A and B are shown apart, each in its own frame.
Chain A
Amino acid sequence: MTTTTRIERHHYDVVVIGAGGAGLRAAIEARLAGKKTAIISKSLFGKAHTVMAEGGAAAAMGNVNSRDSWQVHFRDTMRGGKFLNNFRMAELHAKESPQRIWELETYGALFDRTKDGKISQRNFGGHEYPRLAHVGDRTGLELIRTLQQKIVSLQQEDHREFGSYDARIKVFSETTITELLLDGDRIAGAFGYYRESGEFILFEAPAVVLATGGVGRSYKVTSNSWEYTGDGHALALRAGATLINMEFLQFHPTGMVWPPSVKGILVTESVRGDGGVLKNSDGKRFMFDYVPDVFRKQYAETEEEADRWYTDPDNNRRPPELLPRDEVARAINSEVKAGRGSPAGGVFLDIASRRSSDEIRRRLPSMYHQFKELADVDITAEPMEVGPTCHYVMGGVEVDPDSGAAFGHVRGLFAAGEVSGGMHGSNRLGGNSLSDLLVFGKRAGGHAASYADGLDARPKVGVDAVEAAVETALAPLQRDTGESPYVLQQDLQAVMGDLVGIIRREGELADALGRLAELRERVAKVSAAGGRRYNPGWHLALDLRNMLVVSECTAKAALERQESRGGHTREDYPAMEPKWRQVNLVCALDGDTVRLTRKPLPKMRAELIGLFDRAELAKYLTDEELAEFDALAEEAGN
């Protein structure tokens, strides 16, 4: 076969897969390092998932409360992740976020301001001080538009210098990568297709940055779009990299459950930060019953104290509605299971009776407008019906914290953003993702550029590998005996939603693995009707195999981890186990099958662990670790 002759070929130094916040920031950095850079995205430029982020970007700038610092932010992040985070990533993130946010202003971003003209910061679940830089409730849009416009401005510079906008940085929109190509253990390029024409495209490049986002499309109720099929996770696995923490998925506690046109759409946490409360069908503000012991000290015990906090946060403890997301999600789940839910199977989120209509409209403009237009629900007049929604995957490509280089046996592969793992541990704090994209996007882009610099010879793309990739891509179109990709996706969503959802049980997880194995056979035979031009059925058919392998990782890791922590709740092991905190579950691909191994967590440096109270650590650490901590403390005391 001479298929390779019909393939458009491009040569780049750095190829960034994904045009969300992480991908764009990585591309900017690679281009600033003088590398010829390509940005590839499944959807149009500027439409990646990052546009949907509402709440804000967390960075300890201390603009609203000057007591905030990177140490406090670091502490909150570790607490939120239940100490399973890669401490180095959490440290870098806390230290570098403010610079990354300020840098956006030099690209033209316009954040909301404080009275003295600085960037305003708002409260958010799990953050000790007001910390989220925001623009109304469309922060993600601002972030992506700003980065998009920065890329345009770099292209304008190149246009002046070389006469072509695309001279050093080019955006390939509506282009999907289906395979990474290797030369031995080194990245040699990436293969994919233009969605528009169905034509194939081959990038030859020594360094690839994955920034493909998450996996939520494997779930029925999700806030994620069609793009979130775990492509980057699967590409990394197939290239020989490893995934960690795949059992941890964040279910956003407050997604709309009714009416259907808005099912899965999130009600931002700022609704709660701005005074919204959760009530069950008896009208009871139930969150007070669900404050876990680890958080008792920081959260109010009475409604009066909670309500005072909004105006006087220094002298009152915060309302329990602002507990970390997994706690809120679990509380809602328990209320619904106990028969105290709303008619559509959620609970009520009420801001209407607590704030004036004007104030709600001013503070939550797009939220108001969205529900009014989409569902004719007036949030200033009636409570919303909300419930848990699959939202974010903490797990992802196992990377070196400083450079974003993937572990496992592959070189030249980098990952940043939601597709990478470790930063958020077992649970992500709201607002930490947007700043994560910037901090690690910049790092991954910069290190990819210097990796490309350091090579003596370029890895070569093998003809066989390309032909195999072409064949795999065309297979669903050439078969007409298999099932429809839409049916398969629905079945996959049913398995994951019902058996590997928010509350997990051993029997169900084992069952899920059996069903996923059956699905694997069916997916291997999927067929897509129609031709190659902009054919969504074909695109889904190709995405399915990625969704499947990632789902297998999640199910396997969830079955293995016999405890409950952050975004992983086992009904049969409800407690958090200090022993399990020392373990990361690592997934790798062995031929076709997912292999799971245990790996010890890196140990936190002394000056970092010293930032915590012993009493707090006692909830997370084993006795040996505590003894070690005491020894350190004593040494410091001497």
Chain B
Amino acid sequence: MGTKRQFRIWRGDENGGDLQDYTVEVNEGEVVLDIIHRLQATDAPDLACRWNCKAGKCGSCSMEINGMPKLGCMTRMSTFTEDETVTVTPLRTFPVIRDLVTDVSFNYEKARETPAFAPPADVAPGDYRMQQVDVERSQEFRKCIECFLCQTVCHVVRDHEENKQAFSGPRYFIRAAELDMHPLDARTDRKEYAQAEQGLGFCNITKCCTEVCPEHIKITDNGIIPMKERVVDRRYDPLVWLGSKIFRRGETPQTSVTTARQGSATPPSTSRGGTHSHAGGSHDPHAEAQAQSGVNWHREVPHPTAPAVDDRGRLPLTELTFDRAAAPSPFGDDVTFPLPPEHLNFAHPEQDDKH
């Protein structure tokens, strides 16, 4: 009763690999993960892939489907046309372990560095009183299933291994935001922490993280932007401004978006289609080739542009020593927005339906 469909799945490990073609039966109502399971039971018993719940609740089955970071168990086969080849690749930002399984330990390290909930000192268990409206703001972020799709899509680390040290990523910005908005959390420095230690300043609100979030968490609008706004408020308070010039120990002041930038917080770069470059930002010819074969957007790969790094090979983190206001463009200085449409290779979810 099913139809035969074409799949291309990346097989390999940290030493390299390639896309392999499979012809596989697809039945009505199935999702991509069902097809991977069918392949395991037939042609490829050792095809590695993570999954648990098959219900979009555990965030294990993250993969890139036709170049778009998605949950395999939540991607219906009916979103592709019958003659379309479905290409499945591992998450790009994390090192491959085997096939579709990547080493996501980066995220667990960042989680470990984020200071935990600080219980109020004088409230006994059972005596916590909070209003529903107040907990709802944090609850939105606690919906997170830790699929790390937002982490993999964020351009700050997607093709920039060197930024991983200083940048925690959207998942941990909303963790900080969640605690910041927690009615009873005893710490008051969540925002400052996000700015100083998590690399919030790297984020230039492209909103790609929000677009891929399967839980539809408004990562940018409800999490990142409010955190940035408050940090900005403080920064433009003359006293704080002065204080921030005298660096406190262990605190590196970092670039931050300005209020002006906030005003146009939806620069053309965040319009439909987004601005991620799968290969454009990469400096490695091999990765370049892979991106090309993995993501078949029939377009020319733009020349890689090096980011504006300082003499240590790092992105300048301090706005005081940086030659421009606001964050450096992660797309390179020669890229202007809006991008010409032929340079876009980031698919909007709805785009699939049109194929």
Contacts and interface: CB of A to CB of B under 8 A. Distances in A.
Would you call the interface of chain B mostly helix, strand, loop, or mixed? loop
Contact of B60 (A44, A110, A141): A44
Nearest to B133: A113
Given A107-B117, A225-B51, A51 B125 contact: no
Interface stretch (B136-144, B218-226, B259-267, B325-333): B136-144
B164 interface: no
A255 to B, nearest CB: 11
B45 to A, nearest CB: 4
Contacts of A295: none
Interface string B209-224: 0000010100000000
B45 A142 contact: no
B128 interface: yes
A161 interface: no
Given A45-B108, A156-B112, A533 B13 contact: yes
A120 B128 CA distance: 12
B101 interface: yes
B76 interface: yes
B57 A51 contact: yes
Nearest to B185: A108
Nearest to B100: A534
Contacts of B112: 152, 155-156, 165
Contact of B45 (A103, A227, A259, A536): A536
Contact of A44 (B13, B54, B73, B104): B104
Contacts of A46: 146
Contacts, number: 177
What are the 8 tightest A-B residue pairs by CB atom distance, in nearest-first order?
A530-B46, A108-B117, A259-B29, A153-B116, A117-B129, A537-B45, A534-B48, A102-B125
Interface of B: 13, 27-31, 34, 40-41, 45-60, 73-74, 76, 78, 97-99, 101, 103-104, 108, 111-112, 114-117, 119, 125-126, 128-132, 135, 138-139, 142-146, 179, 182, 185, 214, 216
A116 interface: yes
Interface stretch (A32-40, A72-80, A322-330, A373-381): A373-381
B109 to A, nearest CB: 9
B54 A528 contact: no
A272 B130 CA distance: 28
B125 A113 contact: no
A27 to B, nearest CB: 16
Contacts of B73: 374
5 contacts: A61-B126, A106-B119, A113-B135, A136-B139, A370-B55
B72 to A, nearest CB: 11
Contacts of B132: 112-113, 120
A156 B116 contact: yes
Contacts of A120: 132
A288 interface: no
Interface in A48-105: 48-49, 51-52, 61, 98-99, 102-103, 105
A588 B59 CA distance: 37
A516 to B, nearest CB: 21
Contacts of B78: 376
Nearest to B216: A369
Residue among A108, A145, A165, A376 having the largest count of chain B Cβ atoms under 10 Å: A108
B50 A486 contact: no
Contacts of B131: 113, 117
Contacts of B53: 49, 51-52, 225
Nearest to A42: B52
B126 A110 contact: no
A127 to B, nearest CB: 20
Contact of A374 (B28, B31, B179): B31
Contact of A260 (B13, B34, B50, B130): B34
Interface string A6-24: 0000000000000000000
Contacts of B13: 533
B28 to A, nearest CB: 7
B46 A535 contact: yes
Contact of B97 (A152, A196, A485): A196
A44 B116 contact: no
A196 to B, nearest CB: 5
A103 B28 contact: no
Given A141-B57, A261-B31, 11 more contacts: A52-B55, A106-B128, A108-B116, A108-B182, A113-B130, A113-B131, A135-B142, A366-B143, A485-B45, A530-B46, A536-B48
A43 B50 contact: yes
A51 B45 contact: no
A149 interface: yes
Nearest to B60: A47
Contacts of B57: 51-52, 138, 141, 366, 370
Nearest to A144: B58
A423 to B, nearest CB: 23
Contact of A110 (B74, B98, B182): B182
B50 A530 contact: no
Contact of A47 (B41, B55, B59, B129): B59
A536 B179 CA distance: 38
B48 A535 contact: yes
A375 B28 CA distance: 10
Given A261-B76, A531-B46, A533-B13, A152 B116 contact: yes
A538 B46 contact: yes
A52 B53 CA distance: 7
Contacts of B116: 108, 149-150, 152-153, 156
A533 B50 contact: no
Contact of A534 (B97, B119, B185): B97
A226 interface: yes
A262 B50 CA distance: 18
B108 A105 contact: no
Interface string A152-164: 1101100000000
Contacts of B179: 108
A99 B13 CA distance: 47
Contact of A49 (B31, B50, B52, B125): B52
B139 A135 contact: yes
A142 B46 contact: no
B27 A260 contact: yes
A98 B114 CA distance: 29
Nearest to A107: B117
B28 A259 contact: yes
Interface in A104-146: 105-108, 110-113, 116-118, 120, 135-136, 138, 141-142, 145
A49 B128 CA distance: 28
Contacts of A212: none
Contacts of A105: 125, 128
A136 B143 CA distance: 10
